[in-house]
Structure 1
């Protein structure tokens, strides 16, 4: 079994993805405690050669690579589901194709909380770690969304949407099998289910920088995300969420 699976959902990322993959490869090559590892890129119906760009990157020994292609754009949540279900790692790192949180923040996540916890990279806990801030309207919309998340579903979690999270592998795959949200609110569903299933959630301050060309369209996607939150809350109230599956105990010690 791989020690780490790095899952990267990507849509029209042929330009930004290669340097991201090269940076991850360099970092893991210097961190043998994470090897063997696998890189899983999920091309969510891109039109710009994203899958070909990912497949062209040279991968050294100790690393495996998989490129999954969706024939059409299904949403970031769908891409994450495909990547998690394809993974084999004892731990799963979810990160964005733009690497807005540097890959060295993996060590920060790994050193925080127990190995059976979901470690959630957060921009909200220490805003001094934000190197480049996002535009004020995006920041306001993000804070408003997370207020709704805390009120409806996840009290105590201040940033569900940072694209840098570390899951126990067995839990991540079980969550992906139960996940139903294909859009940008998938993070909330995964974390909400994880908490209901008894997994600890640990929010960890990480370095982050805003990078232009975000795939999120605030007005369009915010409305869909709020609908998804309401749908998830109603399912919880109706008792129709999937029960926790039997999960093995995580093996080995934490890696920090």
Structure 2
């Protein structure tokens, strides 16, 4: 089977309550839009039956795959694990709650097709596109965190945290192999690395609706992300990214290099 044009990665941790609805919407969108696409669900050590549900759906969809992390490692690890396994010319990730409707991926794809190496969804470029707003306290903490991120990391983007991003595959293979942050603070690191490597990053306004079931705590996880930003700045000042980049001979070496700690389950239908 030839490699797909698009790979959609969905990180999932204890998502049994909504993963079927998510898969139904994603697969329907793939069919409606006629995308040449594969879908990879990354199970981050779920304690419920998320993996079993995905495996059952794999019998119906040959290009649906399950990637299993070695235990619970965090969203950043899950996204990296999935995107490094992805075979598409364009690789993207979206949150399991589909806060940004899957159809909005067309906007990211269009940005890539017109020259961007990285396309990031933004909730704040056109606020009128927000269908369900966050509570005011979450908006306040979110905007404060974004301001701090832009200041500390030197990032010019209005929204670094939206879980809706796409990459040209060669760019993803470089960026994600340099990623060190494995939990909530991984998004700013990806953008920091992309700019360091002079990849073209385009911010794209997307429709977005807040999901009340969001597990992120702005106080607890926000403090952890601030700590992780300090780590990113330290790594940069210490030259760790530069040393890692220098150790990479070229993109083709990185594309063919093995990715450790990965278990990819392929549906029996896809193996025929």
* TM superposition score normalised by structure 2: 0.85
Alignment of 1:1-256 (within 5 A): 1-32=3-34, 34-35=35-36, 37-57=37-57, 64-112=63-111, 114-241=114-241, 242-243=244-245, 245=248, 246-247=250-251
Q: Residues of 2 paired with 1:46 and 1:155: CA distance? A: 33
1:89-110 Cα offsets, whole Å, 9 max, x none, are 1001210000000011011122
More helix by share: 2
Secondary structure of the corresponding residue to residue 9 of structure 2: strand
Secondary structure of the corresponding residue to residue 219 of structure 2: helix
Secondary structure of the corresponding residue to residue 43 of structure 2: strand
1:71/1:58 CA distance change after superposition, 3 Å: closer
The CA RMSD over aligned residues, in Å, is 1.7
1:225 Cα deviation (Å)?
0.3
Secondary structure of the corresponding residue to residue 84 of structure 2: helix
Secondary structure of the corresponding residue to residue 111 of structure 1: helix
Q: Residues of 1 paired with 2:201 and 2:79: CA distance? A: 19
1:48 Cα deviation (Å)?
1.3
Q: Residues of 2 paired with 1:64 and 1:38: CA distance? A: 5
Contact kept, 8 Å, 1:25 with 1:59, in 2: the verdict is no
Q: Residues of 2 paired with 1:10 and 1:183: CA distance? A: 13
Partner of 2:270: none
1:116 Cα deviation (Å)?
4.2
Matched positions, count: 245
Contact kept, 8 Å, 1:8 with 1:41, in 2: the verdict is yes
- Which segments of 5 or more consecutive residues in structure 1 lack a partner in the other structure? 249-256
Q: Residues of 1 paired with 2:225 and 2:69: CA distance? A: 22
- Which segments of 5 or more consecutive residues in structure 2 lack a partner in the other structure? 253-272
1:64-110 Cα offsets, whole Å, 9 max, x none, are 12212224211101111111111111001210000000011011122
Contact kept, 8 Å, 1:22 with 1:57, in 2: the verdict is no
After TM superposition, what 4+ stretches of structure 1 lie above 6 angstroms from structure 2? none
* TM superposition score normalised by structure 1: 0.90
